[in-house]
Amino acid sequence: MEPPGEISVMDRAMNNPIILSEIIKRSPLKTCRLVCQFWNEMVLSLPNTTLALNLEYEVGDYNAIPFFDLCFTLDDRLSKQIVATCTSAPSDENPSDWIDIFAYRLTHVCDKFNDSVQILEITVDYAACLQSVFQVLKNCCPNLKQLEISYDLNEDESLDFNKEILLGPLLPKPKLTLLTVRSEVKVTPSLTSLLQLVVNASPNLREATIPWGFCPDFANSKLLGSLTVKLELTRRIEDAMAEFKPLELTRLLNQVADQLVNLGFSHFDHYGMNYNEAYDSGRRRVHLPKNMPKLQKLGNKMVDIFPLQDIKVLSALKTLEIGKIFKKSRVVDELLENMYRANEVFANVRNLTIFEIQNPKLVHGLKTAFPNLERLELDTRCEKDFNRALARMNLGVVLNALKGWEGLKHLNLKLPNFSRKRDAIQTLLNAADLYKELKILEIWICQEHYKRGDLTNYEMDQFEKLLVAMDGMDRVTIHDIYVSQDSRRKILDFMVSKKMSVDKFKIFQGGLTCRDKL
């Protein structure tokens, strides 16, 4: 025990900025702030605290006094990031009340902390909410750096937004570099007008994610280096394709083609969400600009709408992601077949992701077409159906095709497996030579039946050999291997006895580590 008046070793450690910074990295910041004043000051002094002032309210919470009390006592540094939400009101509530509360809270906070606000995250279900968003952007937040808007228009037309939003311009936003907009409905004229005003007011915009159907004029965005066009698959394909504007989108892409470093065409990424409609090759398409000299990353999960005709002209390309939106389309397989037939080699590509490749023979050709690949992800979307065609892309076939690939460091596979657990372990062990080159391995083994049980002596012996073969890698994650608690304990004991780094292995259902509760 320290003499009276001396600072204890514990207190000295807890007040050491170096030690404290490491603790904060691994702990919830909201909790750290409550420990003491010194900790609170350290958290608030971080350049990116991830702490946000949430303006969401509970049903019936119409008392403005607590809200204004909070604003009077709030540290300005906590107003860097504002989260404001106005979702659908309960059936017994008046939507106008929710919209009004959303408006006065957002407006008051952005006005009071005008210079402090750097990030705005807005989620609204009513077009009428856009009026207050417009007013805030028109009059407040000159130091705004990031703007995120999630929009899901409520069907109540009586709450539609009036035309005042067409008035502009907005207060200049020279520091705004990131714009993210998500819309689960057709982009309305009011939202389109607001977003265009935002783009016009943000000459230093560097990264933009825009919803399907919105094709802004980026003439004022000379620094835009990253663009993503995203379609929410919660919508009907007929509606989405009716809103497709190939001429406008072509104009947009040509406008920024020479400055883009990252370009993406994406959709709501969830297993089983692909459209079931038969693919019609006569659908309108948009051909990508050929002159994109700076493009390093191309993420195209909609190749059946945005075809890739000549990737070789993209001389700076290092990362390529390809996938499809129509379930019955063979466009991904056809793209690879054409590459192999033309003997094309993409020596600069280091990272490759392929969604829904169906032909296992095409996996063999990847080593020739992409000889310098360092990271490969193959995702068959195996959880959506277990048909015979998909069964051909099983774990053993793919691992065998990838053997001998020098330079490959990171492998991520999502594949079906219709064999017994014993055979799955043996399949993984048969690919031991592949693990000598890899540093990171992640495998999802999608199975029809999940049954947890003890490993037999033979299976345990094979599993131990597998762990030894994988021990040279930096991180190993294998999902959907189901074993009993007793078998997990034996595996952990074996790893400890061999002095293996237990924490780098995540080898059970859900990616749980051996140290997790059994």
Task: Compute the distance between CA of residue 116 and CA of residue 226 in angstroms, rounded to an integer.
Answer: 26
Specify the pLDDT at position 384: 44
Specify the pLDDT at position 478: 86
Specify the pLDDT at position 518: 29
Residue 15 lies in a domain: yes
Specify the pLDDT at position 404: 83
Task: Compute the distance between CA of residue 407 and CA of residue 127 in angstroms, rounded to an integer.
Answer: 52
Residue 231 dihedral angles phi and psi, to the nearest 5°: -110, 125
Residue 235 lies in a domain: no
Which one-letter DSSP state was computed for residue 267?
Answer: E
Specify the pLDDT at position 97: 76
Lookup result for tokens 């957002």: 106
Residues of the chain with pLDDT under 70: 1-52, 57-65, 69, 72, 74-76, 78, 88-93, 154-167, 233-235, 268-284, 381-392, 417-422, 446-452, 508-518
Please say whether the beta carbons of 216 and 252 come within 8 A.
Answer: yes
- How many other C-beta atoms can be found within 10 angstroms of the C-beta atom of residue 67? 17
Lookup result for tokens 């403005």: 64
DSSP string, 355-384: E----THHHHTHHHHSTT-SEEEEE--TTS
Q: Output helix, strand, coil percentages for the chain, rounded to the nearest 5.
A: 35, 15, 45
Specify the pLDDT at position 253: 94
Residue 505 lies in a domain: yes
Question: What's the total number of domains in the chain?
Answer: 2
Task: Compute the distance between CA of residue 181 and CA of residue 213 in angstroms, rounded to an integer.
Answer: 12
Residue 217 lies in a domain: no
Specify the pLDDT at position 515: 41
Task: Compute the distance between CA of residue 118 and CA of residue 269 in angstroms, rounded to an integer.
Answer: 28
352 SS3 class: strand
Range of the domain at 43: 8-51
Residue 264 dihedral angles phi and psi, to the nearest 5°: -140, 140
Specify the pLDDT at position 379: 86
Specify the pLDDT at position 447: 59
Residue 232 lies in a domain: no
Residue 469 lies in a domain: yes
Specify the pLDDT at position 144: 96
Task: Compute the distance between CA of residue 349 and CA of residue 241 in angstroms, rounded to an integer.
Answer: 32
Task: Compute the distance between CA of residue 263 and CA of residue 266 in angstroms, rounded to an integer.
Answer: 10
Specify the pLDDT at position 493: 92
Residue 278 lies in a domain: no
Task: Compute the distance between CA of residue 260 and CA of residue 239 in angstroms, rounded to an integer.
Answer: 29
**Cα Rg, the chain, nearest whole Å:** 27
Residue 361 lies in a domain: no
Euclidean distance between the first and the last CA atom of the chain, given in angstroms as a whole number: 38
